[in-house]
Amino acid sequence: MLKRLRKLPCYFLILSSVILAALIFNFCFSKTEGFLLFNQFHPVWLDVFFKYATNLGDGLVSITAAVILLLLRKKKKAMTLTLAYIYSGLMIQIAKRIFHAPRPKYYFEQMMFQYGHFVDGVRMHDQNSFPSGHTASAFAMATVLVLVFKKRKISLFCLFMAILIGYSRIYLAQHFLIDVIFGAIAGICCALISYHQVYDLKLFRSAKVNKRYKKLKIAARVNSI
């Protein structure tokens, strides 16, 4: 795992810097102030863009990507992505039910604050704001793809898309910054765990591979006698 992380310094260095900067920003401003600072610019074309771009953080995208990898006979990659999606989904749903935090629209209504811009056609929710599920799914998939394909060229693109999806949740008034930050952290952690299980611990070897591995182990013991 550490060897793989060292080979991808650009992705994880920028990722850590972005999360740290976001945490500092979050502590410097209140929920409302931070939200408004992120929502000062709302042209129509961006409304349309983020309305559709945010769907890239939907779980169906991760599942589709895993199926495509499976069809291409990239079983370990597909398994890693599937596990990351499952783990992040479970973690997010448990956290949502524990904290039961209000979404921006409902939060502002309770604070008697009039927020003036909601994107047409986007269904607004009231509860379960913390943490952001779309963000977790996006960062889980981005981190898995960077780890399993071992190509630096895709790392910045994956990171950019994950950040874009995270920002879309604030832009569309579905989440606060703190929801997105911890959604991202959850997604990254779940990606690292799933990669470690599949590639380092090799917990999901096929029966044929396990049988071959046992034969080699027995042969090695016989030769050492």
- Is it the case that residue 3 has pLDDT exceeding 90? no
Q: pLDDT tens across 207-219, in order? A: 454 555 455 455 4
Q: List the structure tokens of 82.
A: 């599937």
Domains and CATH numbers, the chain: 2-224 (1.20.144)
Could you tell me if 143 and 192 are in contact, meaning their C-beta atoms sit under 8 angstroms apart? yes
pTM to 2 decimal places: 0.89
With the CA atoms of 50, 56, 57 and 59 taken in that order, what torsion angle do they form, in degrees rounded to the nearest 10?
Answer: 140
Per-residue pLDDT for 145 more than 60? yes
Q: Which residue, 145, 18, 170, is CA-closest to 85?
A: 145
Query: What integer pLDDT is reported at residue 75 of this predicted model?
Result: 94
Share of the chain above pLDDT 90, in %: 80
User: Average pLDDT of 58-65?
Assistant: 95
Q: Residue 216 and residue 197: Cα distance in Å, rounded?
A: 22
Instruction: Identify which has the larger pLDDT, 191 or 211.
Output: 191
What does the CA dihedral 212, 217, 220, 225 come to, rounded to 10 degrees? -140
